[in-house]
């Protein structure tokens, strides 16, 4: 596993969603949960995978309708590092999911760049 050169807020948000997951997540689900645009999330997932933090596979649920989904999950080493990264960014008493939700866009509330 390679260290990441830069770890911005979007990286922390994506890692937080993957850490909070009890199952693999697909790209659009990660986009929705983080409130980040696809143009940020998909390149970030690719970078995390190339660095060995994340693995992915195609969903093979034949009963599900619609296009196939690419599923993402942290590697064991990636999860250890993600815990460290997210711990440095989390405010005391607030979970990563709570921080992400606090920044998510809401109707009538403009999205704040972060």
Q: What is the pLDDT of residues 45-69, one digit of tens each?
A: 999 999 999 999 999 888 989 999 9
- Whole-structure pTM value: 0.78
pLDDT at 78 over 60: yes
**Residue 113 domain-assigned (yes or no):** no
CATH number of the domain where residue 23 is located: 1.10.10.10
- Residue-range definition of the domain harbouring residue 46: 9-102
Whole-number mean pLDDT of the chain?
Answer: 85
Structural domain total, the chain: 1
**Residue 14 domain-assigned (yes or no):** yes
Task: Work out the angle between the directed axes of helices 96-103 and 9-20 (0-180°, nearest 10).
Answer: 130
């Amino acid at each position: 596993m390679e260290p990441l050169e830069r770890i911005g807020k979007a990286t922390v948000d994506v890692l937080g969603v993957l850490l909070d997951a009890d199952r693999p997540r697909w790209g659009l689900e990660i986009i929705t949960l983080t409130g980040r645009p696809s143009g940020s999330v998909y390149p970030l997932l690719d970078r995390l995978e190339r660095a060995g933090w994340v693995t992915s596979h195609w969903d093979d649920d034949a009963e599900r309708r619609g296009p196939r989904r690419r599923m993402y999950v942290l590697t064991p080493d990636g999860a250890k590092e993600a815990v460290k990264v997210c711990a440095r960014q989390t405010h005391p008493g607030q979970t990563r999911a709570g921080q992400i939700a606090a920044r998510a866009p809401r109707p009538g509330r403009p999205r704040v760049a972060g």
